[in-house]
Amino acid sequence: MPGPFHGLRVIDLTTVVVGPYTSQFLGDLGADVIKVEAPEGDLSRLVGPHRNPGMTSQWMHVNRNKRSVVLDLKTEGGKQAMDRLIGTADVFVHNMRPEPLARLGLDYARVSGIRPDIVFCNIWGFGRSGPYAGRAAFDDVIQAGVGLAAQEGFATGEAKYVPMLIADKTTALFAALAVSGALYHRLATGEGQEVEVPMFESMAGFAMVEHLWGESFVPALDRVGSDRHATPKRWPIATKDGFICVLATSDKHWRAVLEVAGRPELINDPRYATRPARFRHRDEINAELEKWMAEKTTEEWAGPLSEAGVPCMPVQSLEQVVADPHLAEVGFWHEIDHPSEGRLRLMAPSLTLNRSPASIRRPPPRQGEHTREVLTEIGFDDAGIENLLASGAAMTE
């Protein structure tokens, strides 16, 4: 069965991670995503291990379910081809700053003039108003600006970046959600619209859900920063051979921890018998847990605690995640034979729709792999395609 966005065409004029990850979500849900690349290619084609140039690991994990077209949008021929493509599209996604976008003639006013009902999504570092408007941004810049780097330093006092592209990937979810909402509006009214998804504002909201804390009230009732997360009073616990996460917040879970730890005499201890009491004595509880956990291996704790219904998980290395039996059992790792890259391991869409499922239908494309195919679909004949290729306005693999 096709995905819910089957029949929709998305123009992906994005680069690196935040934009490509956005359009990949739409492609997973069935959309025909046309990735328009400049002749030099997307920067992600340079990042990560690869068997062949331009087909790196990072590229592959944000560009499946897409077709690649290479156009030089600074040439007349490239602009004409893009205009024709826009005339067939339902969604246009980009992550360029406003000025270069306008210089290419691809701002919302002009694009909507070609296709009035288009959903046009701007993914920017900062919103178009305010003192930061128009600034360049990458993931590290946004992490620094919204307090994530400072939060990573709660335990040590030294600011650090979260060791992943968390701002790019999270903002991509916001953008995919915004496009989905705009598509529903179009379905209901026939109207397209312009969508703006700024990374800074998106991630500020994401970071401050628990951390606005006392500043949620005017005047403030307390400092900013979650008491549990920012003190800090939350960390993995060392075992005999590794680390484990144990989160026994309910009375039932706490009693189960005491039984598994062989400390049933503490079940009725007034310091620990209720959740409010445990919250008041959490420093003592953390100290006790650290003592108990150090007496056994991670597996000796994880098995019995899980069987007792206590939320817990061994702290796994990235290598252990790749080998995780649960992920293997549920088909999370999706292996394919790529026509040029050989056997690949991709990650299957994690969401399930039982009537219109997300799926991987196309492998990550080579640069310009579908240029001829798409140009034919939008009305260029063989001679016209050859002219575009000869002039450098378009390129094929």
Q: What is the CATH number of the domain that holds 279?
A: 3.30.1540.10
Cβ(86)–Cβ(80) below 8 Å = no
Q: Which of 314, 346, 365 is the endpoint of a domain?
A: 314
Q: Which pLDDT belongs to residue 50?
A: 98
Q: Are residues 132 and 173 in the same domain?
A: yes
Which residue has 């003192």 as its token pair? 131
Q: Are residues 303 and 349 in the same domain?
A: no
Task: Reply yes or no on whether the pLDDT at 233 is more than 80.
Answer: no
**Statement to judge: residues 356 and 301 lie in one domain:** no
Residue 196: the pLDDT is: 98
Confidence check: pLDDT of 44 > 80: yes
pLDDT greater than 80 at residue 229: no
* Strand pairing report for 91-94 and 119-124: parallel
- Let me know: does 394 contact 81? Beta carbons within 8 Å: yes
CATH label of the domain that carries residue 13: 3.40.50.10540
Residue 63 lies in a domain: yes
What is the count of structural domains for the chain? 2
Confidence at 351, pLDDT banded by 50, 70, 90: very high
Q: What does the DSSP assignment read for 145-192? A: HTTHHHHHTTTTS-----SS-HHHHHHHHHHHHHHHHHHHHHHHHS--
pLDDT digits (tens, 9 = 90+) for 82-92: 999 999 999 99
Furthest C-alpha separation in the chain:
86
Flag whether pLDDT at 19 surpasses 90.
yes
Give me the half-sphere count of Cα atoms (radius 13 Å) on the Cβ side of residue 186. 19
In this structure, is residue 33 part of a structural domain?
yes
Asked if 173 contacts 199 with a C-beta cutoff of 8 angstroms, the reply is no
Residue 191's pLDDT band (boundaries 50, 70, 90)?
very high
64, 165: one domain: yes
Instruction: Determine the Cα–Cα distance for residues 249 and 311; give it in Å rounded to an integer.
Output: 9
The answer as to whether 346 is a domain residue is: yes
Contact at 8 Å (CB) between 337 and 311?
A: no
CA angle 173, 3, 358 (to 5 degrees): 55
What are phi and psi for residue 82, nearest 5 degrees?
A: -65, -40
Q: Are residues 97 and 29 in the same domain?
A: yes
69 in a structural domain: yes
Judge if 46 and 153 occupy the same domain. Answer: yes
Residues 48 and 153 in one domain: yes
Q: How far is CA 293 from CA 6, 92, 254, in A?
A: 51, 53, 14
Q: Is the pLDDT of residue 179 over 90?
A: yes
Residues 308 and 358 in one domain: no
Parent domain of 55: 9-206+329-395
321 found inside a domain:
no
Is pLDDT at 166 greater than 70 in this prediction?
Answer: yes
**CA separation for the pair 228, 212 (Å, rounded):** 13
* pLDDT, averaged across the chain: 96
Amino acid 211: pLDDT: 94
Residue 232 pLDDT more than 70? no
What single letter denotes the amino acid at residue 320?
Q
In a domain, 322, yes or no: no
pLDDT of residue 231: 67
Q: What is the pLDDT of residue 157?
A: 82
Q: Is residue 218 part of a domain?
A: no
How much is the average pLDDT of 135-146?
A: 96
* Residue at which a domain ends, from 314, 339, 356: 314
Over residues 362-386, mean pLDDT = 98
Span 294-311, mean pLDDT? 97
**Is 110 a member of any domain?**
yes
Mean pLDDT on 67-75? 98
| Same domain (yes/no): 61, 133 | yes
The verdict on 310 and 377 lying in the same domain is: no
